[in-house]
Amino acid sequence: MIKWASFEGKTVLVTGASSGIGLSMVHEFVQRKANVVLVARSKDILEEVAISVRKKGVQATVIPMDLGASTAAKELYDIVISKGLEVDLLVNNAGYGRWGKFTDFDRSDYNSMIQLNINTLTELCHLFITDMIKRKSGGIINVASTAAFGPVPYANVYSATKAFVLSFSEALNFEYRDQGIHVMALCPGATESKFYQKATEKSAATSSNASERSSSMRYMTSEAVAKKCLDAFLKGKIYLITGSDNRIMYAISKHLSRKTMLNLIGKMFGGLVNQNN
């Protein structure tokens, strides 16, 4: 496996680049002198980000797109190629989750989540890694979650999609590590972003209860997550768990049975969900 010396001069495509971890990654890449391709639904926000980025002497390309559509991955790839861009690093950050009982949400909502979190991510990897293989150089960062390490009651479909992302990323890295391509999974825990707002919309959560929950959880900033992620990638890490609490929990989980962990996590999240009912 070839470790990257830096991101300087590289072209990095970031999905979900308009807010949260994705936006923080964009700024961190720019600080490290990488050119960026910004992908998200919010064209106006992306244009504002691009303007600020270009002032720092790097190139920024805006591609507004809803990656939740079944044809989105190929459409995005075709646009990138038509612009003459050569993506050195693909960052699959776009995704969302739901927090509540399984039947609280419609099947169509879960289908959309699976399409974005799994199908689009997989297709983008397949499309861009083919070019990387030809160049014998490239990288992919897939954003998973600490929820990837085991079943999470009340976030059951979401945790399952992130388990796919982690497993897929590790296997992909093994297959192509000798061809100059490095694949890493980022597994953040609670992070200051719009993710929680998205995860609880349509549920019974109220703003007051959300505030109480937030105060009881130790959040990392998206900026801190982005910096640690890029540092870990340059070190050749295969996956990264951000946050000391999350790493401790992961270490403990390896010494407990799956049934015990399921009961612990289920009681914890079940109590939070029941606060809203």
Non-local CB neighbours of 152 within 8 Å, separated by 6+ positions: 158, 159, 265, 269
Can you say whether residue 96 is alpha, beta or left, with left for phi > 0 and alpha for psi between -120 and 50 degrees? beta
Instruction: Report the topology of domain 11-274.
Output: Rossmann fold (3.40.50)
Closest CA to 143 of 196, 206, 96: 96
Residues of the chain with pLDDT under 50: 195-197, 199-200, 203-216
Structure confidence at residue 259 (pLDDT): 82
Query: Which residues, in sequence order, are bridge partners of residue 239?
Result: 185
b/e string for 165-194 if b means 16 or more Cβ within 10 A?
bbebbbebbeebeebbbbbbbbbbbbbbbe
d(CA 96, CA 116): 8
Residue positions annotated with a catalytic role: 158
